[in-house]
């Protein structure tokens, strides 16, 4: 990877040897001479998988992740309500 085309780096540690790296990169396209894009890198132990996303695909990925998070929280909430019917609040992870 050429660091010269990376404008910003972010990372999320998932487990000890697992993380997700996010890069805002600058590149070129065939139809013009400038475009920024998102590089998503999944790191598991020493293995790295890169996926380059245009901004539209990255935005859709964020929406889909948010939908899954909301559905998972709703499922967790229903299970907790059944298990602890008298409790008024829960911490959902």
Give the pLDDT score at 88.
81
| Coarse DSSP helix, strand, coil percentages of the chain, rounded to the nearest 5 percent | 35, 40, 25
Q: Are 61 and 16 members of one domain? A: no
Residue at 59 is within a domain: yes
Residue at 90 is within a domain: no
Q: Are 43 and 59 members of one domain? A: no
What count of other Cβ atoms lies within 10 Å of the Cβ of residue 23?
A: 20
List the pLDDT tens digit at each of the 93 positions of the chain: 446 689 999 999 999 999 999 999 998 766 667 789 999 999 999 899 999 999 999 999 999 999 999 999 899 889 988 988 898 877 766
Give the pLDDT score at 71.
96
Give the pLDDT score at 34.
78
Q: Are 4 and 44 members of one domain? A: yes
Residue at 11 is within a domain: yes
Give the pLDDT score at 87.
85
Q: Are 65 and 76 members of one domain? A: yes
């Amino acid at each position: 990877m050429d660091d010269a085309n990376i404008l910003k780096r972010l990372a999320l540690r998932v487990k000890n040897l697992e993380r997700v790296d996010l890069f805002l990169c600058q590149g070129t396209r065939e139809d013009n001479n400038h475009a920024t894009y998102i590089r998503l890198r999944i790191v598991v132990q020493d293995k790295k998988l890169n996926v380059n996303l245009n901004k539209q695909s990255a935005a859709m990925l964020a929406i889909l992740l948010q939908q899954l998070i909301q559905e998972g929280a709703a499922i967790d909430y229903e299970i907790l309500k059944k298990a602890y019917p008298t409790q008024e609040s829960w911490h959902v992870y």
